[in-house]
Structure 1
Amino acid sequence: MYEKLNFENIQTYIQSSNVIFSTNNTNTKELEKIISSKIETTFGYDVPVIVISVNTLKTIIENNPFAKDSQKDKTYLHITFLAEIPIEFNKESIIEKKMSRRGNCFYIKCNLFVLP
């Protein structure tokens, strides 16, 4: 599908729907609309799409508030993106679970493979 949009250097990450690609178009909002529209016409699903530039992704990684705490084991560090910045969220719950929100990005420090 991404080839049909004339993107290059396309790589996917497992079955996460995460895709890395190159394009001359630097307008992330426009790219989000283009990709979302193509997903809807190709697969019939209207889904939100988040496009992040390489520079923004580097900044997000550099600003991870838990990176210094996990120097030995980075497998506990996770980042998730939200389509919109939440208006409200339970800060007490986030603090307990070692989560931090900056804009539409949530940083999470936990072992996703161990259930409580």
Structure 2
Amino acid sequence: MTRSYIAFLRAVNVGGRTITMERLRGHFTELGLGDVRSYIQSGNVFFTAEETDRAALTARIEEHLAAALGYRVPVMLRTVDEVAELVAADPFAGIEVTPQLRLCVVFLSEPLPTESVFPIRGPRGDWEIIGAVPGAAFTVVRLRNGRLGGNPAAALPGSYRGHGTSRFFHTVVKILNAARR
């Protein structure tokens, strides 16, 4: 049975690590994945695969990208249906969006520590993790002087040993819509 996946890549086209989406799609195609497409320059790749072992598929993609690019690219792999469930759950319901507020989904490679108690607030009050599910944390970020104070994935507790990559919630909705096309 073929599954439709979305790969959320961390550290793509930031910090001097640049890659064209055409080249990135080529790396996914080299792995024998089907219907490979991408969305915007921040490392969102859609594809189909017969593989159902997510850990093995993630490891295969990460190993291939590391060999091809010369640096590690953590991959948070989700099915299109899982992203649809996340969006439908509306994790930010009841939060009034203002020009100084950003709603972010941090896709996680591992669940947050079980001792996590929400909300988890940043020491400067510029972010808070309001909740989480096993594959994602929901973060509200307050702008300082009109700018993000950093990557919302950095808001993860120090005891967290996995990886995270963040996307604005409205971008996650756009990614889901593009993946469904």
Q: TM-score range by the shorter chain?
A: 0.7 to 0.9
Question: Larger helix proportion, structure 1 or 2?
Answer: 1
What is the alpha-carbon distance in structure 2 between the residues aligned to residue 92 and residue 60 of structure 1? 20
| Among 17, 31, 40, the residue aligned to 2:66 | 40
**Structure 1 unaligned residues grouped into runs of 5+:** none
Shift of the alpha carbon at 1:5? 1.0
Q: Return the TM-score normalized by structure 2.
A: 0.50
Amino acid at match of 2:133: R
Give the counterpart letter for 1:41 in structure 2: A
Partner residue in 2 for 1:56: 82
Query: Is residue 120–residue 128 contact of structure 2 (8 Å, CA) maintained in 1?
Result: no
Shift of 1:19: 0.8
Map of 1:13-28 to 2, 5 A cutoff?
Answer: 13-28=39-54
* Among candidates 97, 103, 107, match of residue 138 of structure 2: 107
1:65 alignment partner, SS class: coil
What value does the CA root-mean-square deviation take over the aligned residues? 3.1
Between 19-28 and 85-94, report the one with greater CA deviation: 85-94
Mark the runs of 5 or more structure 2 residues left unpaired by the alignment: 1-26, 150-181
Q: Among the aligned pairs, what percent are the same residue?
A: 24
Residue 12 of structure 1 is matched in structure 2 by: 38
Counterpart of 1:29 in structure 2 is 55
Per-residue CA deviations over 1:19-71 (Å, capped at 9, x if unaligned) read 11111222211110110110111112233222111221111112232146469
Instruction: Give the partner amino acid of 1:60.
Output: L
Higher strand residue share: 2
Residue matched to 2:121:
93
**Cα distance in structure 2, aligned partners of 1:33 and 1:80:** 20
Equivalent position of 2:177 in the other structure:
none
